[in-house]
Amino acid sequence: MLYLVATPIGNLGDIGLRALETLRAVDFVASEDTRKTGLLLKRFDIKKPQLSFHEFNEDKAGQRIIELLRDGKSVALVSDAGTPGISDPGFTIVRRALDAGIAVTAVPGPTALVAALILSGLAVHSFTFRGFPPHKPGPRKRFLEVDKDSPHTLIFYESPYRLKAFLADALAVYGDREAAVANDLTKVFERVDRGPLSQLVRLFDAEEPRGEYCVVIAGASSRVVPRRAAGATGAEGRPGDNNDEGEDSE
């Protein structure tokens, strides 16, 4: 069987009991970055052979994983952090396994997009996850315009290198909607900045973004109760925040 195992997005205390049981029971662990996954396995004293599976080797590595599964071996697929298949090549191995008649199951757990959504203060009853936008300005604006009239809350992932440009383009395309920018979720310095897009643009123009970001933007017809000022919330000093080995992801 192929197991899709969610791992912590930051705080290692968020690892699930079933995830640990599965990682201890399988024959192989396939991951995007074996070094990062190795740190997780070491933290919980799990010794398993690892397979590298990422966007640059997914054809060859995917075939190898299918061969192992056909030979009766069990494989756990994990991402760098979060739920495999969300903004990573995990879905391709799932498709291959299903086409080959191999059983697939999920071991659910943390996902950055859901954490950011529920912390945003925006409507959660209906949302659209759009993943990472294109890198270049023209394609990025066209990408954003697809959802310009959507009533659903919009969720994006973005890197620190393009966050400022993304926020500026979002303001240009969507207008001055309410939004939230989440960073270091579940870690000691968790931060969520909330407010109109124009205020968030000014905020990040004045500082250098670091780490991976999740941006949540109100839908076209959303009504949000006005707040006096955009604010950031943090989580410094919470119980269980021994999480230096974690990474923000999906």
Residue-wise pLDDT for 122-133, tens only, equals 999 999 999 999
Of 108-117, 163-172, 233-242, the range with the lowest mean pLDDT is 233-242
Q: What amino acid is encoded at 146 in this protein? A: V
Band the pLDDT of 64: cuts 50, 70, 90: very high
Task: Walk me through the domains of the chain, giving residue ranges and CATH numbers.
Answer: 2-107 (3.40.1010.10), 112-234 (3.30.950.10)
pLDDT, mean of residues 9-34: 95
Residue 186 gets which letter from DSSP? T
* CA–CA distances in Å: residue 36 to residues 8, 30, 79: 12, 12, 9
What values do phi and psi take at 198, rounded to 5? -60, -35
Q: What is the mean pLDDT of the chain?
A: 90
R_g of the chain, CA atoms, integer Å: 19
Residue 7 gets which letter from DSSP? B
Tokens of 144: 């954003």
Tokens of 161: 């290198």
